[in-house]
Every structure is written in structure tokens, then in C-alpha cells.
Amino acid sequence: MLLVLSCGSDPRSPAAGGLPSTSGVAPSTSTPAPSAVVTAQGSLAPTGDQATTTSEPSGTCFLRALPAEPDRAYCFAYFDDEGASSGLCDQLKGKWTKGGSCSTVGHQGTCVLPDGTQRWSYAPATVLVAERQCAPTNGKFYKPGEPIPPPSRRVLSCSGQVRGMCSATTVASDGALALERQRCIDAGGTATEGADCPMKGRVGSCRSLIPGLNESYYAPEFSREAAQRECLGSFTQQD
């Protein structure tokens, strides 16, 4: 999981469509009747069967569309550590379901983000709108009913571009790996494939709101308090 570079906006950021702007939740269960998706007004609508994926997610996060953005009702399917994913869902003010699957009812397509996270889009968004929203994330779009291959996850760490910080990015394709490596090098960092950020001297880590990104902070440049202030996501203090 790689550091967000300071030069320009990141295509995975909320402003670029990597994550939605939201303040509510659409709950989900694994049984047909009680599950729900959101309507254009943000209210809940009943759904049917849950989708079957080729790789079981650790959990899903449902986000309610805002009235001002009715085409941004999403379900995120995460495939990494459950604790980190559920913490990220809390930061997004979403509804976490352990081991759940995203509903197929009203489904308008899935954007597989560079780290392998799946972002499912729902009506009133159309397939065309969902595909356009996927493009800025550097993800791959799958239309409803298209099989989604299981994620093949790899880690690239980047150190040296900011004193006292290291980042590790999880990616799910060769193209995403090459992109993150070049970002690191362009920022003056050292990229290492297959290695996480070191534990020695680490005062804390941050699971970023950007999917697949973990940032680590080190003494003496950062105290635990300073690291926590720097974190835009879910912070874990190093013991």
C-alpha cells in the first residue's frame, strides 16, 4: 500500500470518485428479504438474492446515496484484513457486514479498484454512469452479470519521499503495480515490491480512506500524537 503523493490529486481519492461522498448507510444481510439498497431519495428499498463472487470477501460496506448525489449508492466488497476493512467502513460512515456479499438487485456494474476492492454501483445510476465513475480510479469496470476474477494481490512499499514516513500499497494488477512504482520514483522515493513498511521505530500506522493504502509513521520525526493527527483514515498505535 503506497503513500499518496503530494503532487496533484490522486485518481483514487474521494474527489476523483475513488470513494463516495456520503453520510448514511444501506444495510445488508445474506438472506433475500431483509437486505436493502437505496433509492434516489436515500430511503431503503427491499432487495433480493445476494451476488456470488469468485472469491469470498472479508466483508462488505454499504453506503447510502445523498439526495444531491443519487447516483452514488455503493457497496464495497473488501478482500483484506477484516479489522482494517471494518474500521475503514466506520470512517466512511457505512454499514459493515462480515463476510457479506453485495446485492444484485438494482446493480449497475462493478468497479474493481487497483487494490482489488470491488465497488458496486446501484440505480438510479445507469451502467454508463457507473462505468464513467470507474474511469478516474484507474480501476476495471465489469457490467452486471460479467464474471469478476478473484484479486491477485501484491504489495509495494515506498520510503524516502517524506522524512519519517513510509507507505505500502496493495494492488491487484501489473498495471497498477507499475503505476505505483513510478509514482514512488517520481517523488524521490525507493520502491520495494513484496515488502511492507518496517516495524522498527514505527509509532503508528494509518489505514487510509484511499483503498489499498497504508501509511506508517516513525520517530523521531513523528510522535504518536502527531502521527494520529496526520492520519486521514483509521489509526493504529504501535505498542
pLDDT (tens digit per residue) in 92-109: 889 999 887 899 999 999
Domain boundary among 109, 142, 175: 142
pLDDT band per the 50, 70, 90 thresholds, residue 55: low
Read off the pLDDT of residues 157-211 as tens digits, 9 standing for 90 and up: 999 989 999 999 988 777 778 888 999 999 999 999 988 999 999 999 998 888 7
Q: Could you list the residue range(s) of the whole structural domain that residue 175 is in?
A: 154-237
Burial of 99 (0-12, 13-18, 19+ CB in 10 A): exposed
Q: What is the pTM of this model?
A: 0.56
**Does the residue 9 lie in any domain?**
no
**Are 93 and 190 within one domain?**
no
**Does the residue 118 lie in any domain?**
yes
Read off the pLDDT of residues 147-165 as tens digits, 9 standing for 90 and up: 998 777 789 999 998 999 9
Domain boundary among 107, 142, 177: 142
Place of cell 449508492: 73
Task: Say if residues 156 and 190 touch (Cβ distance below 8 Å).
Answer: no
Pure H helices in the chain = 82-91, 127-134, 174-186, 224-230
Report d(CA 170, CA 156) in Å as an integer.
7
Burial of 151 (0-12, 13-18, 19+ CB in 10 A): buried
- Number of domains comprising the chain: 2
pLDDT greater at residue 166 or residue 18: 166
Q: Which residues pair with 171 in a beta bridge?
A: 154
Helix H, strand E, coil C: the string for 44-74 is: EEECCCECCCCCCCCEEEEEECECCECCCCE
**Does the residue 8 lie in any domain?**
no
**Does the residue 231 lie in any domain?**
yes
